[in-house]
Every structure is written in structure tokens, then in C-alpha cells.
Amino acid sequence: MSDRYFISDSDLRGLAADLLGAGTDVIAPVATDICQSPSAIAASACTLDHSLVDIDYRALTDADELDLSRGLPQLSLKGYFLPEHEALCRWKQKGITVEVEEVPTEFAPRVVLAAKACDAAALEVVDKVMNWDYKDELWNGRREATTIVNLTCPMIDDSCFCTAVGTAPDDVKGADGLLTPVAGGYVYEPATDKGRALAEANKARFSNDVEADTRGREADDERAASRQRVAANLEIDAESVRDWIDTHFEDPLLSQLAIRCNGCGACTSVCPTCHCFDIVDEQEGVGRGTRRRCWDTCQAPTFTLHASGHNPRDDQHVRYRQRINHKFAIYPLKFGEVLCTGCGRCTRVCHAGQDLVEILQAIDIAARRPGDSAEPEEAAS
Amino acid sequence: MTDMATAPAYTGVDDLRRIARELLEAGDVRVIIGYENARRGARPVFISDPAETDKLIFDTRCVHNLVTYLNPRRDHVAELGKIALVVKGCDVKAVAGLLRESQVGRDDVVLIGVRCGGVLEENELPAALALTPENVAPRCYGCDNREPTLTDHLVGEPQPEPPRPVMTIDERVAALDGQPMEERWAFWTEQFSKCVRCYACRQVCPLCICEQCIVEKTRPQWIESSAHPRGNLSWNITRAIHLAGRCVDCGECERFCPVGIPLSLLNRKLQHIVHERYDYTVSDDPENAAPIGDYRLDDQQEFIK
Amino acid sequence: MTDAHTDFEPRITAFVCNWCTYTGADLAGTSRLHMASNVRLIRLPCTGRIDPLFIVKSFERGADGVIVSGCHPADCHYTSGNYHARRRFAVFHDIMEFIGVDPRRMTFSWVSASEGAKWKDVVDEAVRNVRELGPFEAYRALAPEAVEPWPAATSDPAGEEVAS
């Protein structure tokens, strides 16, 4: 990559401060108390007496909030492009007519700093369905307004598996640039015009001091090391997994793998690629209301409930099978992308013990052993 | 940091495995639902093969309330056949709740009780830890069912009482009660604004058994489905009211919540309410009728003009 | 009580049982008793029919206060409906207080068919309490967009904002 910059630790924080000062929203990892409330009562009333720090993507109010010392934010970037709930339009009756107020589809420019590669890649994966038969102006508007700068993952855990599904911790898919930690700061590599524009507009923070043999090599080594760290967790042949799922719809393996699922939907809410939503009309007063869309989950019992009362997916193992099917077979066949970027949040958040690394491993083994169905126990590492 | 000493399994695991194997071999049950060791710690396991009963474990990581798998909504579990369920003293109270409400027959399930000394709050660990005031699940303190009676088998030695956590749930509820109303409102609306309406709390609760949940009723839409704070408040209040006198305080709703809403505070408050007003305590005796749905002629009515 | 609230007219929804309170309220009317006019009644067969969700919904939709009223214990037309309601609302009242809703916004009463005067007192006290507390903006503010209150009684039905 020919244009590489160096930005020191303090200059990165300074960049955030400059952007905030110019009125640009900056979204970045921020440490949060698990109860997320500043009030004293919450600190004492929280069930976790020691303040368990977690990481979330937040709109910074101050550059000092930026926290790059911890791991994966608990929720993905999805909520900044497809909010948990958003108004689509408002209506008001006037006499015998109805006034409809559309919501804006243009958004103020904003920057995401230190995004995880899996979260940014997920956005590009979901771009496909958001621009399929209907161009989703709200999603697209937010995508266009946002410059995303990834940070090569300095730490991962054993539930990460981005390299097994076609991305990597130093990928720039869906993003505009990449920061890689080196001594004293980061090497910045823009990947798009937006990424280059960020460096150009903030020349005071970026220097060109990236010698290929020293800093450049350090960045390259770090990027390779990050990939190796993740690859150790899981390797699958995503295409044969896709084909196996596509041709083994009734295979008992998929039911067995789903057995302990409660259908709570936590996996879909933390997943960066899950994008299903419901649209509801909510009356706000006499003759007025708001049409909203809000996150939905294929794991909910009523997700496929027909008006007739029939529900083609009326049991949990069928719904769970559908999730695997959609992510690893249907979406790849339709859009050429796996609907999963290996962030591992679903596994971490599942308190019933569903483990996607284990599940993919089991299917991968089954796929490479034609005529046999792998036992999940053999797959567990 | 806190004492990270590991702990052995609770006693009785050998008996547990033996009983499970015998039940399967004799054909008395078709599946054992218990705990196993997995990549990320202890988790529920479904065993149909007597040879696999050695997978069963029981230690301080075995937090899950397995009674949720008896929920009549779960067809694919019911299809497996008659179940033998591993239950702790807290879990088995939920079975009593299901019996009270005729959701399950006593003969439909074999209950294998395990004597428990408490579980960890953070349980997704490769090895069990010894319990300390810092790591014990706060709800274990003051456990009133150390010798569960609603069981067909009971294994393990009596264990020491769980340690007192740094702050008990009752203390936290009392702290909230002692705050001015505006601060309580600020606290709860802030907590409920985190809710993403995944309904994990409902799905995992062993006593949330309605065929159609009120929140899914669309004609009319009583509870707004959007995840804005107004809709979330309605959902969480409704859920609390529907659980009053029925909730067994197993803590699963809070554990499953992906955004960390402290539901155990609400659950414990519900228990205080029914205890103070109706002298009712949830137990594992199915004959002990739930307070809501029941009444006395002299019930408290100080709040009624 | 602050000056800001003297211009404020509370909006109160009352859920009342048909056999006792509704009749009692009617008696208050035929007796020409003067009382606050801020209350809109919703008639139900019995307090046992009243779901706490009705109260929650009222606050969502713009009510500043709510009244729930029915037959005295032992006088329920359906024998035990009010006993069930008594327990249900005791729990609801305590939970709402725990959540931080001022209990003075919710008034519960037993008013019989002959107690027109008591109904007047219940209504006046409820309105007084809610007037002191002010509009229940905090509840409505939970919505992402501001909620318009009920249209004023003087709006022109033929012209602008119209209820269908």
C-alpha cells in the first residue's frame, strides 16, 4: 500500500478531539459500567457489586472516553446503521385527508474510530440485501455519511473466527481505512477516498513517517500475527459447509445442535449481520401516529406466524436450523457472501451454551465425510 | 483480584451418573437433562444413551435452571420422551409452579435433586471456582431450599451455606426503596431504555408459559413492540406483574439479558410484596397456592379509599 | 404546588365497575353535586376485569392520573371479582411505586351505587393530587417523539385535527 501514515497515541485522541470540536460525531469503543448509569443509586443497586467494565461503541462526548485497551464491544456497529427502532414516517389526519411526514434520508457526516474488522465487514455484507430489490435509503444514507476506520485486533478470544468466514482482523471490507498498532501509535492505511480524505483533512495529526523496513514491517508483522491468532480458532471450508446445509435440510445433526436453544434471540440482537426487522404502526394520539421499524428475530416463535394461524416454523429447533441455513447457505447462494463475519458474539452471549464454533466445526466435518453425520461431541475441541 | 481458587465438583456426581444410567437402561426415562462440560464452561446437556451419562457434572458453574426445558411450548424436547431433570433447590420450585398451574404432570418427569452450596455469578469458565463473597451469585445467599423435597432422588452431601455476597440483593432493593421516587424513576427508565425487546427474559423463564404472550397480541396492541423506553417500560412492568407470586428467583432472566438489566431487583421486590401483603413465600410444595388468583376476605386494602 | 401548575387541567381516566361506581357516579350527577370535570369514565362490568395494562396505557396516551373504582368487598355483583382486583392492584400499586411512579397519580376506591357523595370526594381529591403533581410529562417523554395530548374540547370537528 503506497500511502501509509503514522499517527501517535496522543494524536489519535487529538484527532477525535478535533473532529468533535468541528461538530462531527465520533463513534468509538468506550468503557461502560455494566449498569451504564452514572447515578450513585445505580452503583449501589446494581447486582454486580464490583463495577464490571465492558466495552461498547458510543458517540463520544469527549476524546478521553476513547478506550482501545479492551476487546470486542458488546454490541456491534449495526445499531448505528439500522437502529433498534426508528421512525419511517409520521401521519396526521386533517379533515378527510392524511398528512404524511417523511423522515430525512440524509445524515450528517460522522466517523467511526477503531472499529473491529468483523463489524465493518458485516456492513458490506448487509449492503447486499439492503440494495437488492429495494434500496434502503436510511441504511444507505447512513453508510454514505460514515467514514469507518478499523483497528487491527490487538486481542481476540477463543470464540472469534473471522478468518474462517472470509474476513480477517486486519480486513478493510466495509471500512475506509485501517489502523495497526505499532510502537508509540498506529500505522494508518486508507482504503477508500473517504479514508484518504480523513488523513488529508487532518494533516496535523498524521505524519508520513512510515519507513517500509521499520514501522511498515512492524505493521505488516502485527497484521499477520493477528490473522494467525484468529485462524487457530477455527478453519472451515465455507463452501462445502454451504453445500452440505443446502442438501441436508432434514438432517438430524442440525436439530441436535439446536437442542439447548431457548429461542431468546440474544444472538440475533448482538449479531452484526442479522438485519431482520418488523414494521409497526403506533398510534401516538387521536388521528396521529408513527410508522416504525424495529429489530426482529427469527428465533421468536411468532416470526413466521401467518395471519391464518399457521406457523411453518413453530418449534425452536426449526427456527435455529433456519438461522444456520440463512447465514451459511441461503445468503451465500443468493448474494455470494456468508451472513456472518465471525465476531463470536452469539457464542459469548448465549447462556444456554450454543456455540457457533462448535456447530460450524461439526457441519464442516459432516460436509467432508459424505454419507455420515458428524457427532457434535467429536467436533468439540 | 479475588481469590481464584478452583473447586472440586459438588459431592454426589457419581450417584447422579449412576441414577441417570439406571433410569435410561431401565427405560423409565428417554432423556436426561443435566449439565455437562463444554468449550466455554458448564452448559445443559441432553443424554439419551446410558453410556454417555458420565458426561454429567455438577459444580459451582451449574447455574442454569433446567426446568425451562419442561415448558410445554418446547415440542422438540417433549418429543424426546419422558425426561429426568437434574434440579437444584431453587430450580425445583419452578417445577412446583408448573404443577400448580397444571402445565406438567408429576408423573411426566423424574426429578433428580442435587444438594448445592451455591453457584458462581460469572459461570462461563473452564473450571469451577470456589465461592467467595466476590464471585458468588447474590441470589444464593439466604437459600431456603437447601434440602429440596420435591424430588424423586436426592444426591450429594449437605453443603455449607453459600457465602454472603459483598452486597445482598435485599440490601440493594432496600437501597432503591430508600431513594426518593424521582431517583427510582430515573434508575428504572434508564435501565429499561437499554432493553432491545429480544424477550430472552421471557423465553428462558420456566414460568413464562403462555401460548400467546400478551406482548404478541396485535388486535389491539396492548404493549408497543418498538424498543423505545415507553414500550420497554410497559413490557417490563407487565412481565413483573404476571410473575408476581410465581417467580422463583432463579435469576435466569437477568443472566440471559444481553444488555444487563438488573431484573433480579424487580423479582426480589415482587417476592417482598407478596410476602408482606399475603405472607406468601414461593416454595417447592405444589399444594401451596399462588397468591394471585387467590384471595382472602380480609386482604390488605390500605391503598384503597 | 407551583404556579406553573395553576393553568394545568389534569386529564384523569377512571375505570369503574358498572354495578356500583358507575351507578354511584350517575347518582352524583343526578344529585347535581359539583365536582371537578377532569375525569373521563370508562365503564366495565367489574373491577375484576380491569387489567393493569389499562392504567399503563392511559399514562402512555396522555392521562396524568387514573382512578380505579368498584364495589365494596362482599358486594361484588359477580361475588369475587373485586377480591381478585384487590390483590392484583395491591401488587400493581407496589410495583409502580418501586418503579418510581408517584402513587398519588393512581387512586383506588370502593364506591357503591348509593355513594354519590363519596364519588364526588374521590374525584375532587384525585384531581387535587394530580394538579399538585403536575402533568405526567415524564411518562410521555419516554416516547421518541413528543406525544400530543388529547384534543381540547373546543376544537372544531369540521376543520383541523379530527378524530375519526
User: Contact, B24 vs B47, CB < 8 A?
Assistant: yes
Cβ distance of A292 and B258 shorter than 8 Å: no
Question: What number of CA atoms fall less than 13 Å from residue B254's CA on the CB side?
Answer: 27
| A87 and C CB contact within 8 Å | yes
How far is the C-alpha of A349 from the C-alpha of A201, rounded, in Å? 39
Residues A247 and A340 in one domain: yes
Cβ neighbours of residue A122 under 8 Å, at least 6 residues apart?
A76, A77, A78, A174, A272, A273, A341, A343
* The three grid cell numbers given for residue A186, joined into one nine-digit string: 498506529
CA atoms within 13 A on the CB side of C66: 26
Chosen from C98, C106, C107, C108 to mutate, greatest number of chain B CBs within 10 A = C98
pLDDT of residue A53: 58
Would you say residue A6 has pLDDT above 90?
yes
CB contact under 8 A, A349 and B258: yes
Write out chain B residues lying below 8 Å of C144, CB-based.
Answer: 228
For residue A49, what is the enclosing H or E element?
none
Amino acid B7: pLDDT:
83
Dump pLDDT digits (tens) for A263-308. 888 899 889 999 999 998 888 778 888 898 989 999 988 899 998 9
Which residues of chain B does A50 touch, with a Cβ-Cβ cutoff of 8 Å? 134, 166
Chain B residues touching A318 at Cβ < 8 A: 76
Q: What is the DSSP letter of C15?
A: E
User: Which of A85, A87, A284 has its CB closest to that of C148?
Assistant: A284
Q: What is the pTM of this model?
A: 0.87
Contact state of B297 with C74 under an 8 Å Cβ cutoff: yes
Q: Is B124 within 8 Å of A354 (Cβ atoms)?
A: no
Last residue of a domain, one of A203, A231, A259: A231
**Per-residue pLDDT for A19 more than 90?**
yes
A192 and A299, same domain (yes or no): no
What's the one-letter identity of residue A249? F
Q: Is residue C1 part of a domain?
A: no
Domain spans of chain B, in order of start:
13-155, 169-278
Alpha carbon distance C92, C6 (integer Å):
30
Check CB contact under 8 Å for B238 and C53. yes
Length of chain B: 305
Tell me the per-residue pLDDT of C60-112, one tens digit each, with 9 for 90 and over: 888 999 999 999 999 999 999 999 999 999 999 999 999 999 999 999 999 99
Task: Decide if A115 contacts A149 (C-beta within 8 A).
Answer: yes
* H-type alpha helices, chain B: 13-25, 75-78, 89-100, 169-177, 181-193, 200-204, 229-243, 252-256, 263-278
Look at B181 and C56 and tell me if their CB atoms are within 8 Å.
no
Q: What is the dihedral of CA B23, B25, B30, B32, to 10 degrees?
A: 50
In terms of residue numbers, what domain contains A36? 5-231
Q: Which chain C residue's Cα is nearest to B294? A: C84
How far is A285 from chain C, CA to nearest CA, in Å?
A: 6
Residue with cell 438485519: A275
- Cβ–Cβ contact C29 with A under 8 A: no
Contacts of residue A188, defined as CB under 8 A and 6 or more positions apart, other chains included, come to A4, A5, A6, A7, A149, A177, A178, A179, A199, A206
Question: Which residue bears the cell 438432517?
Answer: A251
The DSSP result for C77-88, as a single string, is TTSSHHHHHHHH
| Residues in chain C within 8 Å Cβ distance of A90 | 145
Q: Please indicate whether, in this complex, the C-beta atoms of C101 and B294 are within 8 angstroms of each other.
A: no
Q: Which of B182, B237, B267, B279 to mutate to test the interface with C (most CBs of C within 10 A)?
A: B237
d(CA C93, CA C108): 9
Where a domain ends, among A231, A252, A280?
Answer: A231
Quote the minimal CA–CA distance from C160 to chain B in Å.
27
Q: Is the pLDDT of residue C161 over 70?
A: no
pLDDT band at residue C148 using 50, 70 and 90 as cut-offs: very low
* Entry field: residues in chain C: 164
The arithmetic mean of pLDDT across residues A146-153, rounded, is: 96
**Which of C58, C99, C139, C162 is most worth mutating to test chain A (most A CB atoms within 10 A of its CB)?**
C162
* Predicted local distance difference test score (pLDDT) of residue A372: 53
B114 touches chain C (CB under 8 A): no
A48 pLDDT exceeds 90?
Answer: no
pLDDT band of A371, cuts 50, 70, 90: low
Chain A residues touching C147 at Cβ < 8 A: 284-285
Pairing of strands A97-102, A85-94: antiparallel
In the predicted structure, residue C153 carries a pLDDT above the cut 50: no
Residue A266's SS3 state is helix
pLDDT tens digits for range B232-263: 999 999 999 999 999 999 999 998 888 888 99
C-alpha cell at C113: 351505587
Nearest C-alpha neighbor of A45 from the set B282, B231, B268, B250: B268
B142-168 per-position pLDDT tens digit = 999 999 999 999 999 999 999 999 889
| Radius of gyration for the alpha carbons in chain B, expressed in angstroms and rounded | 20
d(CA B297, CA B88): 36
Residue B37, pLDDT above cutoff 50:
yes
C52 pLDDT higher than 90: yes
pLDDT value of position B208? 93
Chain mean pLDDT for chain A: 88
Q: What angle do CA B76, B79, B81 make, to 5 degrees?
A: 135
A102 has a chain C CB within 8 A of its CB: no
Whether chain C has a CB inside 8 Å of the CB on B199: the answer is no
Which residues span the domain enclosing C91?
9-140
Same domain, A55 and A168: yes
> What residues of chain B lie within 8 A of the CB of A75, using their CB?
259
A85 in contact with C at a CB cutoff of 8 Å? Answer: yes
* Tally of domains within chain C: 1
DSSP labels, A158-207: TT--GGGGT--TT--TT-SEEEEEETTEEEEEE-SHHHHHHHHHTTTT-B
CB contact, 8 Å: A263 with chain B? yes
Nearest to A380 among B39, B254, B260 (CB): B39
Residue C121 lies in a domain: yes
| pLDDT score recorded for residue C144 | 66
Residues A170-202: tens digit of each pLDDT: 999 999 999 999 999 999 999 999 999 999 999
**Long-range own/partner contacts, residues A15-18 (CB < 8 A, 24 or more apart):** A15/A113, A15/A202, A15/A205, A16/A60, A16/A63, A16/A66, A16/A113, A17/A62, A17/A63, A18/A202, A18/A204, A18/A205
Is pLDDT at A208 greater than 60 in this prediction?
yes
Contact C142 B244 (CB under 8 A): no
- Least confident interval from A41-45, B10-14, C75-79, C117-121: A41-45
> Is some CB atom of chain B closer than 8 A to the CB atom of C143?
yes
Of B234, B293, B304, the CB nearest to C60: B234
CB atoms within 10 A of CB A23: 8
Q: H or E stretch including A18?
A: helix A9-21
Euclidean distance between CA atoms B241 and B222, whole angstroms: 15
CA distance B261 to B239: 14
Alpha-carbon span A150 to A171, nearest angstrom:
8
- Which of A177, A212, A231 is a domain's end point? A231
Integer Cα distance of C118 and C103 in angstroms: 20
| pLDDT interval class at A374 (50, 70, 90) | very low
Task: Please name the residues in contact with A215: beta carbons below 8 A apart, sequence gap of 6 or more.
Answer: A6, A182, A183, A187, A209
As given in the structure block, the three cell numbers for residue A328 are: 451459511
Q: Assign residue C35 a region (left: φ > 0; alpha: ψ between -120 and 50; beta: otherwise).
A: beta
pLDDT band at B91 (very low <50, low <70, confident <90, very high): very high
| Cα distances (Å, whole numbers) of residue A123 to A77, A340, B42, B145, C106 | 8, 11, 33, 49, 47
Q: What element of type H or E holds A140?
A: helix A137-145
* Distance separating the N- and C-terminal Cα atoms of chain A: 38
Task: Name the pLDDT band for A146 (thresholds 50, 70, 90).
Answer: very high
C34 located within any domain: yes
Predicted confidence at residue C145, as pLDDT, reads 60
What span, in angstroms and rounded, lies between the C-alpha atoms of B123 and B129? 9
CATH at C17: 3.40.50
B262 in contact with C, Cβ within 8 Å: no
| A181 and A292 part of one domain | no
What was the ipTM of the complex prediction?
Answer: 0.91
Chain C touched by A95 (CB under 8 Å) = yes
Q: How far is CA C126 from the centre of its chain?
A: 8
- Say which amino acid occupies A91: W
Residues from chain C contacting residue B297 (CB–CB below 8 Å): 73-74, 83
Whether pLDDT at C151 is above 60: no
Q: What is the pLDDT of residue A97?
A: 93
Q: How far apart are CA B27 and CA A180, in angstroms?
A: 60
Examine residue C39 and state whether it is found in any structural domain, yes or no: yes
B40, B94 in Cβ contact below 8 A? no
Note which residues in 41-70 of chain B have CB less than 8 A from chain C: none
pLDDT at A370: 65
For residue A174 the three cell numbers come to 466495509
- Domain presence at residue C159: no
Section A23-33 average pLDDT: 88
> Do strands C65-70 and C12-17 pair parallel, antiparallel, or not at all (unpaired)?
parallel
pLDDT at residue number A380 = 40
> What is the mean predicted confidence (pLDDT) over B197-222?
90
Which residues on A lie below 8 Å from C151 (Cβ)?
A: 286
Closest to A142 in 3D by CA, of A116, A101, A109? A109
Neighbours of chain B (3+ CB pairs under 8 A): A, C
Mean confidence (pLDDT) of chain B? 91
Q: CA of A197, closest CA in chain B: separation in Å?
A: 35
Q: Is B82 on the interface with C (CB under 8 A)?
A: no
Contact residues for C21 (Cβ-Cβ < 8 A; gap 6+): C69, C70, C71, C109, C111, C112, C119
CB of B198 closer than 8 Å to CB of A54: no
Contact across the interface for B39 and A48, Cβ inside 8 Å: no
Measured between CA atoms, how close is A107 to chain B, in angstroms?
A: 21
Q: How many domains does chain A have?
A: 2
Weakest mean pLDDT among A30-39, B117-126, B274-283: A30-39
Which residues from B are below 8 Å from A295, CB to CB? 196-197, 227
* A174 plus A255 within the same structural domain: no
